[in-house]
Structure 1
Amino acid sequence: METPAPTTHKLIAEHDFVFAKFWFYPNFLVGEFAEGADVSKENSLGPIRYVKRYYGRTTPFVYISNRKNSYSMDPMGYKEIVDMFPNLMGMAIVSENKYRRMIATLEKMFIKKPIGVFHKLDEAYVWAIKNIEEQDQ
């Protein structure tokens, strides 16, 4: 999994959890799950600890889901994870696959945060920073 980094933001850390890889930036987090991964709240505890370590409960951040691969996810567990982070300002979902983008729009029913759906990572980076700046005012 090779997710390109935005050129204007400093990478804080990168963690590979076998089923997923995460890139941590000052105010956004990029996640990319492995092909065929079965994502649940239970197997997400490792990444959750790192998110809490880097952003705590006060540093505003946006989660960018880079959906290059096909994987399964428990939507109720997903909502529980999102609810653990009061400082999560929104989510950006990136996929070039039309079907995956359609599924992303369904997630808006479960997650009560701003959600943007994009074709390219660069678009998501811009949206994430703008979203944080707007909510910071």
Structure 2
Amino acid sequence: MNETLNFDFCDMTIYDHYVIVVIKEGIIVSTEHNNTLIKVTETYFSNKPFVYISHRIHSYSVNPEVYSKTAQIKNLIGLVVVSNNYQAKINAQIERMFFKKPFEIFSKMDDAFAWADEIIAAQ
């Protein structure tokens, strides 16, 4: 499966065991945005494990409250941030403290896919 969904705040590409999300420039990711993302994952990953991959191409902010709610998704087994931007990686390190599941930061999508495949296979 490979389906792309477009929203006013992000673009999502759905794969069998992960979702890649690209948040648009200048967005402040709120709990309302997060609720939309959660509904999509409930639709596409109902009861199977998946990894959320945040491809940070643009500059945006995340309300830390989002992470505690996202971590409650039972079948979400990990989160990956992919970026070449130093500041985005620093922000992700801070955000990692709010997320109580596996959370990795990579510069390359291939590394994110490999990590996602590894933790999916371990399920």
Query: Could you say which TM-score interval applies, normalised by the shorter chain?
Result: over 0.9
Q: Deviations over 1:70-117 (max 9, x none)?
A: 11111012321331x101110110010111111111122111111111
CA RMSD of aligned residues (A): 1.2
Structure-2-length-normalised TM-score: 0.93
- In 2, Cα distance between the equivalents of 1:76 and 1:43? 12
Residue of 63, 73, 76 corresponding to 1:74 = 63
Q: Gaps spanning 5+ residues in structure 2: where?
A: none
Matched letter for residue 120 of structure 2: I
Structure 2 match to 1:14:
4
Structure 2 match to 1:43:
33
Greater shift in the superposed pair: 46-55 or 88-97? 46-55
Q: Deviation at 1:131?
A: 1.2
Structure 2 match to 1:89:
77
- Work out whether residues 60 and 88 of structure 1, in 8 Å CA contact, stay in contact via their aligned partners in 2: yes
- Work out whether residues 14 and 23 of structure 1, in 8 Å CA contact, stay in contact via their aligned partners in 2: yes
Q: Deviations over 1:5-53 (max 9, x none)?
A: xxxxx41x21000210000001001000000012111133333211100
Match status 1:30 vs 2:20 = yes
Percent identity, aligned pairs only, is: 34
Matched letter for residue 24 of structure 1: I
Distance 1:46 1:76, change over 3 A: closer
- In 2, Cα distance between the equivalents of 1:132 and 1:15? 23
Matched letter for residue 37 of structure 1: I
Instruction: List structure 1 runs of 4+ shifted beyond 6 angstroms.
Output: none
SS, match of residue 26 in structure 2: coil
Structure 1 match to 2:50:
61
SS, match of residue 46 in structure 1: helix
Q: Gaps spanning 5+ residues in structure 1: where?
A: 1-9
Matched letter for residue 27 of structure 2: A
